[in-house]
Structure 1
Amino acid sequence: MTGDKLRALRHFMNHTQAEFAGALGVSLATIGRIETGSLQVTPRVKAKLARLDYDEDAFFVFYENMRKLS
């Protein structure tokens, strides 16, 4: 997952960076660094993302629409 996709997922879930960090159990700095591209998504963060409960199909549509607007 890229930083852009992580940011889109956070927006899709309607979370601030702090809320998203709390939901994942990682630091706010980790979310910020991933979103800016200075840190890659680690296997640990990927595992935490896999535990999130969200509609993947709806997120895919949301992400594609966000990309079109960029």
Structure 2
Amino acid sequence: MDANKAKAIRYFLGETQAAFAKRIGVTASTICMIEKKQRGISDALRAKLVRIEIELPSDFTPFYMKFRETT
């Protein structure tokens, strides 16, 4: 799990940084800093993101592949 995939998950869910932060129990500024690669992802946060990713529908994979090409 890296910053780009975390951002892709948030975009796929259609959530603002604030809403996504609330979902995973961090501040919006933490999400912002992760997405700008100014802060790493802790193991605890990585575990939460992986649990969210596991629950996403299968169309996340092609979405993420396209997302990687454009970011």
Asked if residue 54 in structure 1 is aligned to residue 60 in structure 2, the reply is no
Deviation >4 Å, runs of 4+: none
Deviation at residue 10 of structure 1 after TM alignment: 0.3
How far the C-alpha of 1:68 sits from its partner, in A, is 2.9
Structure 1 residues not aligned, in runs of 5+: none
Find the counterpart in structure 2 of residue 19 from structure 1.
19
* Identity among equivalent pairs (%): 35
Report deviation, 1:49: 1.4
TM-score, normalization by structure 2: 0.83
Gaps spanning 5+ residues in structure 2: where?
Answer: none
State the alpha-carbon separation in 2 of the partners of residues 51 and 67 from structure 1.
20
Q: Secondary structure at the match of 1:22?
A: helix
